[in-house]
Amino acid sequence: MVKFNFNPGDKIEITTKKEALSGLFMPSKENTFILKLDNGYNLGIDKKNIKKVKLLSKYKEKKPKSSKVKQNSKLPTITILHTGGTIASKVDYETGGVIARFSPEELLEMFPELKKIVNLKSRLVSNMWSEDLNFQHYNLLAKEVEKEVKAGADGVIITHGTDTLHYTSSALAFILENLKIPVILVGSQRSSDRGSSDAALNLICACNFIANSKFQDVAICMHSSMEDESCYILPATKSRKLHSSRRDAFKAINTDPIALVDKQGKIEYSQKVKQKKGKLNLRLFKEVKVGILKAHPNMLSKEVSFYKDYDGLILEGTGLGHFPINKTDSSTTENEKVFTELKKLSKKIPVVMTSQCIFGRINMNVYTTGRKLQEIGVLGNGLDMTTETAFIKLAWLLSNFKKQDVFELISENISNEINERIKDDFLE
């Protein structure tokens, strides 16, 4: 009988009935042997199929160097603010999960290329999954950015989980008025211990962009393709995650990326970089209640009335901005009730239409459904905001302006969230 007396992180070789495999031993369940392969993936092997196990080397944890990072007066200084996420993580072989590294020394050990690009400061703001962030965390990040501006930082990088990164970028773009330095949000689809990780390139390109540009705004830096050559600098309010795992998951919506940055620091601009005037001002979020309701077949009026006590509502409609509100036969009587509830809501709170299509523009003038929705006060006609940006913008407006003003301001272009013209080619 094969014995399995190994510690997490030990390098081992397993021979099964079909093949020989080598990798790192991970904490395993009773009947399954988990091996982390060299490509970074975990493989579960039924212990009944293992013929032989050989220890190749014992695991030894490398402790980060404690020596302080030397500053180079010729290089710009940036601060990395961490919220957690995959980008600063590596495998913890005691638990089988990942651990995060946040100090400048630890980051430079993981990404030594940064030493030649910038002086690095780094600290943890809030270590949590991106799906758990809320409006108060956006306020916290904005205040931390303000501290760095006052301290003379040449730029700020915010490491962030990718799932809601585009919500946070939109929020900061609205909060940070008259921002004079680049604030770049950087994520990673794959952790740094994996051979296919995108962490290093995303961080290097973000640093290169800050060091070599005069950009003054919030943006996102993520892979431009599946190759490890360059990253896009993407607009904060016009970008979205379009794939669950690809390294080039983030795309600009209805517009071009701001720039393309390669690993050597070469920058190719697709948009003009505008210089801002005035003093930095923070317009923070309050505890407002805004919802998102997605149109779907067989919709019930109760789904709409649920939001009667909310401050605002985003409707993610179909096509050009439609909702199931028409009674066309005996099976669609509920649609009339949906329409009635929307009419009630629109008299009380801002109700804003977006489209499930992601690309394109809302046009509620084309069909009867859209015209009926406009007649009862549904907003958003002519806009090309993503659902996520519309949600953030509505919450921000409700936090900073009188409700009666929000009905008009939702259609004004405040932070490059609305295009007068949009690209014909919707996805490269």
Is 241 among the catalytic positions? Answer: yes
Catalytic residue among 154, 163, 228, 262: 163
Contacts of 74 (CB under 8 A, 6+ apart): none
Catalytic hit among 241, 251, 343, 393: 241
Query: CA 137 to CA 141: how far, in whole Å?
Result: 6
Query: Could you say which of 79, 83, 159, 162 is catalytic?
Result: 162
Burial degree of 106 (CB within 10 A; 0-12, 13-18, 19+): middle
| Long-range contact set of residues 16-25: C-beta below 8 Å, sequence gap at least 24 | 16/45, 16/49, 16/50, 16/51, 17/49, 17/51, 18/49, 21/45, 22/56, 24/59, 24/91, 24/93, 25/93
Q: Residue 226 pairs with which residues in a beta bridge? A: none
Check if the beta carbon of residue 117 is closer than 8 Å to that of residue 204.
Answer: yes
Instruction: Give the amino acid at 179.
Output: L
163 is catalytic: yes
Sorted by sequence, the CB contacts under 8 Å of residue 64 that are 6+ apart come out as: 101, 103, 105, 106, 109
Q: Are 43 and 21 in contact (CB under 8 A)?
A: yes
C-alpha 335/C-alpha 326 separation (Å) is 6
Active-site entry in 83, 86, 159, 369: 86
Residues recognised as catalytic:
86, 162-163, 241
